[in-house]
Amino acid sequence: MPQILFLFTLLLSILTSLGQSKISGKIIDSDTNTPLASAKITNFKTGIGTNADLNGTFQNLETGTYTFRKEGYFEKTIELKKETYAIIQLSINPNQLNEIIINANQIPKKLKRATNAINIISSDDIARFNNTDFAPILNRTPGVFMQSGALNTNRITIRGIGSRNLYGTSKIRAYFKDIPLTNGSGETTIEDFELASISQLEIIKGAASSVYGAGLGGVIHLKPQNAFLNESSVNSELTVGSFGLIKSVINANYGTSKNSFRAVFSDTESDGYRENNNYNRQTITLNTNHFISKKDEVSFLGSFVNLKAFIPSSINENTFINNPKSAAFTWKQAQGYEDATRGIFGISWNHDYSSSLKQVTSVFTSFREGYEPRPFDILKENTRGLGIRSRVLGNTVVFKNPFNWTIGGELFNDTYTYGTFENLYKDFPPNTGSVEGKQLSNYKERRYYYNVFAEADYEISEKTTISIGLNLNKTSYNLKDRFPVSTENKDQSGSYKYKDIVSPKFGFSHLLNKQISVFTSISHGFSPISLQETLLPDGQINRAVKPETGWNYEIGTRGAFLNDRFQFNASIYRLDIKNLLVPRRTAEDQFIGINAGKTQHDGLELAINYKWLDQEKISISMFLNYTLNNYIFKDFIDDTKDFSGNELTGVPSDVFNTGLDFQTLVGFYGNINYQFVSSMPITDSNSLYSDSYNLVNLKIGYQTNLTKKLKLNTFVGVNNVFDEFYASQILINATGFGGSAPRYYYPGNPVNYYAGINLNYHF
């Protein structure tokens, strides 16, 4: 009998142990899904700890409660139950940005080990403002300057690149997750995106990114708010403000252990400060993640925008001073506006072949339909884009040291169909607005490019990393003129192909100690030419025009002191550009591109963050950012005019930002931000400069838990507290037609206010 009882007990013990499933999983960045190598895992009950491997994976954990930690991220305590494979998402800690894992060049590494200048704009940075305007957010980043004439009229420059683009943003690459936002002509629009749908912006400055097309100015990488696993919530926000601002946002998340879904809807309406300045936009953003196996992850990203925004345009100096609310006379008479519908959609597949080899592939498509009545004509346009981006990432050990690499390519093409029509508004009574007349042109443009890239990081020691990269680009255009040929209209059909452009980069970083690193890099980049810039007045294609190319030389440092309470990064650089592309006006709405020389961009960038007080009841922190620009035309001859030695047009020499943030245990929070922008040359001759200006913005709020599941956040804010009179955007080298004065100025908004309420419910 005792023997039988012993055998029964032994069998029961074996069956029980077999029934206990061991838990494995992966620890990832909640914003980017980047694996967090060597994250620490501690059993909450026993205190026994272990580490995830270099791919963020862990194995053989018993059921129970565990705390997951990674330097640079907020720790998370989770009870692991029946799941045999768990995904753990950790959110970045904005107070330890130098420690976070970046994915800027597709090779995950700590920011402080990066070999080039990279800035992270966190969700906390975005929340400092009114969640409507990109400009104050981007302008906090040293080296980045966004001029904003209206919510739909903007120009972004990075280290002076793009300043000569008259309308919109050019010569800068941008991505929404893995989907290119830059079209086949090198033009980029990010201001239509809903800020509430973005968790983070990663900005790579200078021609330092082989894997993103070696853009001359740099890359702006928008990271959408990821969907969170194992939680469901609804967030609703309403904001009202000056100039008829009404904005509502609904942000919903649903997550299980392996699948998550996030949808963000927004509706923004504003009358605007100026005449003919109404703005109406609706957006829907979808982001889903599906961990379908230990080795496979699939995600879907979609963004849809419906926009109708009237255009007040720029005004001359007299009107700017005496009646800044006025719209340009012809734009007011024509009631010019932009009516656009745009969408982008992409599917990404991540597959781990092994612990040291993975593949990431994204397929994406985009569309845009636009209708834009302007005083000189009416533009109808339609764009369809399609592309694929794929890369293989690997890690191994060479001579006992880590070697990480990636190789891949991006193929993109879009078809741009557009035509212009007469605008007959002058033939009708006042206040009629634009009236479509006969067709003036009809084009179909096909634009193709591919990038093949490779990049590798090798840690030659525990403190030193070298990085090398290479990008090969091929761009071509095909134009079909579908308008009937006549004595007045010549056939402008034709094709244009650039020569292959090879852009190398080399970078080096070294940890002086655990807190401080230094880096240096040398990199090459280029900016594509739009087909319109190659067209001559006689309808022929100017095959002699060349893309702008340049070399970026940089040295910098980043680090932290006082237990990460004091963080800094600084860099000095020189960017030499040749084949400077200059738009030469041939008519009110016509330009041609010419190569007119070289520019030299010397600069210094500094960013400091300091937490003055870090206590349980209250925390107070400050930031300081400074940009010093010394940009000149090194060799610039436009027709018979020699501008060599002059300052680069449209860029301030100094931009200074500082501010203070506070947060209290009882729920009160707030911030105050100050910005100084120096004068900038408006004309290539440097005969006219804009005035410098100072802006102060203020926001205070209160947040509390109404119940265990319901959170309340209320806030009020004031922009331009001291009612500064300034030009928020300038139009360089403007020309007056018909005896009218040149229209250089877009007036900035005077003092304005906003208030909002946010409710967040966790199911």
3-state secondary structure (DSSP) of residue 578? strand
Distance CA 209, CA 205 (A): 9
Q: Answer yes or no: are the C-beta atoms of 263 and 302 closer than 8 Å.
A: no
Residue 587's pLDDT is what?
Answer: 54
Q: What is the pLDDT of residues 385-443, one digit of tens each?
A: 999 999 999 989 898 898 999 999 999 999 999 999 999 999 999 889 999 999 999 99
Tell if the pTM clears 0.85, that is, is over it.
yes
Q: Is the dihedral of CA 723, 729, 733, 734 positive or negative?
A: negative
Q: Residue 163: inside a domain, yes or no?
A: no
Distance CA 703, CA 447 (A): 50
**Single-letter residue type at 325:** K
Residue 78's pLDDT is what?
Answer: 86
Pair 86, 229 in one domain:
no
Q: Residue 428: inside a domain, yes or no?
A: yes
Domain boundary pick from 30, 56, 91: 91
Strand bridging mode 49-51 / 118-121? unpaired
3-state secondary structure (DSSP) of residue 752? strand
Residue 17's pLDDT is what?
Answer: 43
What percentage of the chain exceeds 90 in pLDDT? 58
Which range among 27-41, 522-536, 545-559, 560-574 shows the weakest confidence by mean pLDDT? Answer: 522-536
Q: Residue 242: inside a domain, yes or no?
A: yes
Residue 7's pLDDT is what?
Answer: 44
Q: How many domains does the chain have?
A: 2
Q: Residue 690: inside a domain, yes or no?
A: yes
Mean pLDDT of 580-599: 68
Mean pLDDT of 502-520: 93
Residue 93's pLDDT is what?
Answer: 82
Q: What is the pLDDT of residues 99-120, one digit of tens each?
A: 777 765 567 778 888 888 999 8
For position 241, which CATH number holds? 2.40.170.20
Residue 8's pLDDT is what?
Answer: 44
Q: Residue 487: inside a domain, yes or no?
A: yes
**Single-letter residue type at 608:** I
Q: Which of 725, 724, 726, 744 is nearest to 734 (CA)?
A: 744
Could you tell me the pLDDT band of residue 18, with boundaries at 50, 70 and 90? very low
Q: Residue 433: inside a domain, yes or no?
A: yes
Q: Rounded to 5, what percent of the chain is helix, strand, coil?
A: 10, 60, 35
Strand bridging mode 218-224 / 173-176? parallel
Q: Which of 704, 703, 756, 758 is nearest to 250 (CA)?
A: 758
Residue 319 host element (H or E): helix 317-322
Residue 14 has pLDDT above 50, yes or no: no
- Give me the chain's average pLDDT, please: 88
How would you class 444 by CB atoms within 10 Å of its CB: exposed for 0-12, middle for 13-18, buried for 19 or more?
Answer: middle
**Whole domain around residue 53: which residue ranges?**
2-91
Q: What is the pLDDT of residues 394-409, one digit of tens each?
A: 989 898 898 999 999 9
Distance CA 167, CA 265 (A): 28
Q: Answer yes or no: are the C-beta atoms of 194 and 108 closer than 8 Å.
A: no
For position 19, which CATH number holds? 2.60.40.1120
Domain boundary pick from 91, 123, 146: 91
Q: Residue 289: inside a domain, yes or no?
A: yes
Q: Which of 516, 554, 507, 452 is nearest to 158 (CA)?
A: 554
Q: Which of 54, 57, 103 is nearest to 455 (CA)?
A: 103
Which of 85 and 598 is assigned the larger pLDDT?
598
Domain boundary pick from 91, 124, 143: 91
Mean pLDDT of 141-156: 93
Q: Residue 206: inside a domain, yes or no?
A: no
Pair 87, 233 in one domain:
no
The beta-strand segments (E) located in 491-640 are 494-497, 501-511, 516-527, 548-561, 566-578, 581-587, 590-595, 597-614, 618-638
Alpha-carbon separation of residue 371 from 308, 309, 332, 434 (angstroms): 9, 11, 17, 12
